[in-house]
Structure 1
Amino acid sequence: MIPIASVNPVAKLGAALLVSLFLLATIDWVSATTALVLELAIIAFFGIEPKRFWLRTLPVWLAAPLTALTILLYGRYDGTVYFEFLLIRISDGSIELALATFLRVLAIGLPAVVLFISIDPTDFADGLAQRLRLPNRFVIGALAAVRMVGLFLEDWRSLELARRARGVADRGRVRRIAGQGFALLVLSIRRGSKLSIAMEARGFGGDTTRTWARESPWGQAEWLTLFVGLLIGVTATVVAVLTGSWNLIVG
């Protein structure tokens, strides 16, 4: 089992970006397949529970075929045409492009989701500020916003129960959602204003150099994570070039 949870979140982000950069430079099924196979082989050693893995990556598994379907129906026209109706035309080119798109979405999306499963928002903010040297004001504000997402969900449920108790949520689903959305917006603005005043009062908006309660560690595990991401991208690119399927789309 690989202790991926203990790796600095910035290294996880960097590894996912490295893989994405190589795959975004080309659109072919060979490089995407190579990267996907290597990624799944490594993910198998992360020790993630199967149920948790499938639930977290479900959006990626749904987005990949939907994206490929669009390319299949309206993609590149090349070779033999198997079906044609109005703007829809399925040909050899669109089939190949749809397959490459499907694998490409999986190869980019799966490692990004899996690597971020074990990331704590506070650790991520520490890494962004201490390792990437991003502005403290931006990092802390983003962290506060992420921490308040759970409160928004609770507010939504409270608003729904309150409206039902008043008898105004029995009819008109679209109208009810719009009304709750506006009420949540007002509540969020009020809470955000109070939070910003409280943070200013505690010195979060000052110009002096701030200290951090916890150090963001960086060592061999982080460099190894970046190296693995780079290795996957390079391997996928080399295999695609050697097989003649490399299709550069940026330049």
Structure 2
Amino acid sequence: MLTIAPVCAPEAPIARVNPVAKLGAVVALSTTALIASDWLTPLLLLAALLLVLPFTGIRPGPLVRRLRLLWFAAGTVVIVNAVFAAEQTGRLLFSLGPVEISTGALLDATAIGLRVCVAATAGVLVFATTDPTDLADALTQQLKAPARFTIGALAALRLLPILAAEWRQITTARRARGLEGGANPLRRLRLFTSTMFTLLVGAIRRAGRLAAAMDARGFDSEIPRTHAREQRMHPADWAVVAAALAVCAAAVALSLAQGTFTAL
């Protein structure tokens, strides 16, 4: 079942960190991984993220379920970039007709895939250890984000599990009526498109009702808002940001020392 609730133990060290501090750490790691075009820098950053796992309190099962599609996408990126590289450099590893893969193209493709893995893993770790309401409170209090936008985004996030449940209801109802794609890919695609359109129509109607209800309750008011739960940046939160910056600097320094670092 799709859920936006944190899947970590509430007493885990990372779970108690201010959401803005965790976002800052993710931005630092992801930016460093995206700027560096070599393979060693994102590999070191990914290793650092794996070392943090024991402090997140996340159970292995939910983490694997949240990461499997993202890591599969990263693997697909590696394969596509290795096969369709503009230039095959280095030693030839694989050749089958017009398809060729060389060491240089594979290394460059691996670097791209590792950057995707760093950004995806860091993002999943943050959202899996953060309550959405705490995140919205921190954004409005620490980053002074507009309350209208933040609360609207929080309400949209709260609707995701409902949309997932509706998708299952629609597919189950159509299966009960004999509407299945079977082995025909075109029929499966047509059925998927129809189901997606039905879900989209229902989501737009629900969003309109939700917006009207929120306006009726004063969410659109320009009056300064108060907060039921205060979010503050403590020394431990600043330490997390500093640790992320230190890890980024160390990864770049090690890559420079090995002579592999190149920037986009």
State the TM-score, normalized to the length of structure 1: 0.88
Farther off after superposition, 81-90 or 125-134? 81-90
Do 1:8 and 1:218's aligned partners in 2 also have CA atoms closer than 8 Å? Answer: yes
Match of 2:121 in 1: 110
Q: What are the superposed Cα offsets for residues 87-121 of structure 1, whole Å, 9 maximum, x if unpaired?
A: 53322311221332333333332222122211111
Residue 227 of structure 1, aligned match among 214, 238, 242: 242
Match of 2:147 in 1: 136
Q: 2-side partners of 1:34 and 1:8: how far apart?
A: 25
**Does residue 209 in structure 1 map to residue 219 in structure 2?**
no
Residue 24 of structure 1, aligned match among 34, 42, 46: 34
Match of 1:156 in 2: 167
Match of 2:210 in 1: 195
The 3-state SS of whatever aligns with 1:89 is strand
Q: Percent identity of the aligned residues?
A: 36
Match of 2:77 in 1: 67
Residue 121 of structure 1, aligned match among 128, 132, 136: 132
* Counterpart residue identity of residue 255, structure 2: A
* Counterpart residue identity of residue 135, structure 1: P
* Counterpart residue identity of residue 212, structure 1: H
Q: CA deviation at 1:218?
A: 1.6
* Counterpart residue identity of residue 170, structure 2: L
The 3-state SS of whatever aligns with 1:215 is coil
Q: What are the superposed Cα offsets for residues 156-200 of structure 1, whole Å, 9 maximum, x if unpaired?
A: 2333344455x3635654444333333222222221111111111
**Does residue 179 in structure 1 map to residue 179 in structure 2?**
no
Do 1:2 and 1:46's aligned partners in 2 also have CA atoms closer than 8 Å? Answer: yes
* Counterpart residue identity of residue 115, structure 1: V
The 3-state SS of whatever aligns with 2:227 is coil
**Does residue 91 in structure 1 map to residue 102 in structure 2?**
yes
Gaps of 5+ in 1: none
Q: CA deviation at 1:85?
A: 5.2
Q: 1-side partners of 2:194 and 2:211: how far apart?
A: 26
Q: CA distance change for structure 1 residues 181 and 95 in 2, over 3 Å: closer, same or farther?
A: closer
Q: What are the superposed Cα offsets for residues 6-59 of structure 1, whole Å, 9 maximum, x if unpaired?
A: 111121111011011112111112212222222222223333222233222222
* Counterpart residue identity of residue 41, structure 1: L
Gaps of 5+ in 2: 1-10, 182-186
Q: What are the superposed Cα offsets for residues 137-165 of structure 1, whole Å, 9 maximum, x if unpaired?
A: 11111111111111112222333344455
The 3-state SS of whatever aligns with 1:148 is helix
* Counterpart residue identity of residue 153, structure 1: A
Do 2:58 and 2:129's aligned partners in 1 also have CA atoms closer than 8 Å? Answer: no
Do 1:4 and 1:46's aligned partners in 2 also have CA atoms closer than 8 Å? Answer: yes
The 3-state SS of whatever aligns with 1:90 is strand
Q: CA distance change for structure 1 residues 128 and 169 in 2, over 3 Å: closer, same or farther?
A: same
Q: 2-side partners of 1:103 and 1:179: how far apart?
A: 36
Q: CA distance change for structure 1 residues 90 and 141 in 2, over 3 Å: closer, same or farther?
A: same
Equivalenced residue count is 248
CA RMSD of superposed structures (Å):
2.3
Q: CA deviation at 1:84?
A: 4.4
Q: CA deviation at 1:2?
A: 5.2
